Structure 1
Amino acid sequence: MVSGEGAEKTPLVSLIAGGTAGGVEATITYPFEFAKTRVQLHDDSPTKNPFKVIKAVIEKEGPRSLYKGCETLVAGTILKDAIRFISFDSIKAAFKDPETGTLSPLRNLLAGISAGVVASTFAVTPTERIKTALIDDARHDKRFTSPWHATKTLIAEHGLTKALYRGYVTTTLKQASTTAVRLGTYNTLKDFERLRDIPQTTATTFANGAVAGTIVVFVTQPFDTLKTRAQSVRGAGVKEAFTSVITDYGVKGLWRGSTMRLGRTVLAGGILFTTYEWVAALIQPVLDKKLLPKRSE
């Protein structure tokens, strides 16, 4: 049972629970992210099966290659999810209906978009840029020895803004839409279940997260594909990224890597929200006890 489900989460709880959930999810599911990024970066492999791509990488480059760029993604995901959960929960608290305590689908969507823009600006774009550059570099040049080395090299070659904020528009489009759909869907499902007194068990939370993750993939995949092209080592603008994908694969190319992303996102959605609710339920009572004396003074 996920206890404390109906309790109002404080900003500190949202920050800690969101960051912890993001780190756990990113570490467990990173091989799927690696395989998806490889396919989107002109990879020659015709297969769409993530397990076959992972197997091929292990055979050719060794198992450690599957976690190339992982440190950057995990660090970025911890920061990203901490920011977007605290943003979403804060906005949600301001937007909710005072009588029912729920949000309309439109307000859920707007809260998610707002949280996604904030997360993209302060966390996602820089870390996704370095992660993508590391995976791209590992295919051929192998210039970068670590995330820090890649960051320093790219800044020296392109300047701070172009090095870390390459692909900001496509990343923000992807992040805003992903956050809006994922958190909006998840919160709508929770509100639906709460109004009908459906128990919020661990299985229910995982299932809600998985459903939200499935919807996310098919709605936002074109933004993800363009983001990956824009943030490769060579880099590209939105128009150039779009043109290159259409030239290489046609319109269907905008959904390239969706099978691999689906595998990761469905699993990630379940892990993310389950971990978030667990951690929030664990630390909320502890923080409440520490803060209550101060509140009463």
Structure 2
Amino acid sequence: MAGNSLKAGVRFVSYDHFKHMLADKQGKVSAPRSLLAGLGAGMMEAIFAVTPSETIKTKLIHDAKSPNPQYHGLIHGTAQIVKQEGLSGIYRGLFPVMMRQGANSAVRFTTYTTLRQFVATRMPPGQSVPSSFTFGIGAVAGLVTVYTTMPLDVIKTRMQSLTARQHYRNSFHCAYRIFTEEGLTRFWTGTTPRLVRLMLSGGIVFTVYENVIKLIAGRELAG
């Protein structure tokens, strides 16, 4: 919960910042510029939120599955990782995470923004896009994101495992070994659970985001 809250906060703040920087004089953002803003948001998210939380989570899961677990919960596990490996221990796999999050946000925000603008132009004048439509658009954005970025997610997970150093020199070596030893389809292993998660999270997060923005705007006008 803490990790996802932080990730969502950094993601949307960063995206809004980059989007306003790249908007034209009318305040509109083209698809290529939305892609660039999403890429930047993903990079910020990877550095400030995703890499530490994902690394710790992955290590705790792998440790719990081992015959002799050494971590006793989140706080103890984090302290031990930092003590044994330094701060670099929670930033292992930063490059694949940046690639994955950059691609995730670029694809997700571009898909969502493009579809939402398409729907908005077909709504009656003065009527906003309903929350049900927003949820559906967010879910579609999640679906597109999963199938386009799944290989990066597989590489990221492998690089953050406890045994990564024993098997892979870097992210490119990891990708090469997966491709040559396990086949191309291995990059899409685990698509279904991630698909369900990202479709639901995409629908929920974008719906909540749009409604919170409306609420804030309404209070500012009232004030």
TM-score, with normalisation over the residues of structure 1? 0.68
Matched residue, 1:77: 4
CA distance in 1, matches of 2:5, 2:132: 24
Q: SS at 2:164's partner residue?
A: coil
Matched residue, 1:119: 45
Over residues 127-184 of structure 1, what are the superposed CA-to-partner deviations in whole Å (9 max), with x where a residue is unaligned? 11001111111212422211121111112222211x1110000000000000001111
Percentage identity across aligned positions? 39
Q: Which of 215, 223, 232 does residue 161 from structure 2 map onto?
A: 232
CA distance in 2, matches of 1:118, 1:269: 19
Matched residue, 1:31: none
CA distance in 2, matches of 1:256, 1:240: 18
CA 93–253 in structure 1, closer or farther in 2 if over 3 Å, else same: same
* Deviation larger for 270-279 or 138-147: 138-147
Where does the alignment leave 5 or more consecutive residues of structure 1 unmatched?
Answer: 1-73, 291-297
Structure 1's consecutive aligned runs of 4 or more residues displaced over 4 angstroms after TM superposition are 287-290
Matched residue, 2:78: 151
CA 193–158 in structure 1, closer or farther in 2 if over 3 Å, else same: same
Q: Which has the higher contact order (CA 8 A, sep 6+)?
A: 1
Q: Aligned-residue CA RMSD in angstroms?
A: 1.8
Matched residue, 2:92: 166
For residue 283 of structure 1, report the CA deviation from its aligned partner: 3.1
Matched residue, 1:41: none
For these two proteins, the number of residue pairs brought into alignment is 215
Indicate conservation of the 8 Å contact 1:155/1:164, yes or no: yes
Q: Which of 232, 243, 262 does residue 195 from structure 2 map onto?
A: 262
The residue type paired with residue 212 of structure 2 is V
The residue type paired with residue 77 of structure 1 is N
Over residues 183-215 of structure 1, what are the superposed CA-to-partner deviations in whole Å (9 max), with x where a residue is unaligned? 111111122222333641011000110010000
Indicate conservation of the 8 Å contact 1:103/1:188, yes or no: no
The residue type paired with residue 154 of structure 1 is I
CA distance in 2, matches of 1:247, 1:138: 30
* Deviation larger for 76-85 or 166-175: 76-85
Indicate conservation of the 8 Å contact 1:129/1:231, yes or no: yes
CA 243–150 in structure 1, closer or farther in 2 if over 3 Å, else same: farther
Matched, 1:282 2:215: yes
Matched residue, 1:217: 146
Indicate conservation of the 8 Å contact 1:225/1:255, yes or no: yes
Q: SS at 1:102's partner residue?
A: coil
For residue 247 of structure 1, report the CA deviation from its aligned partner: 5.6
For residue 244 of structure 1, report the CA deviation from its aligned partner: 4.5
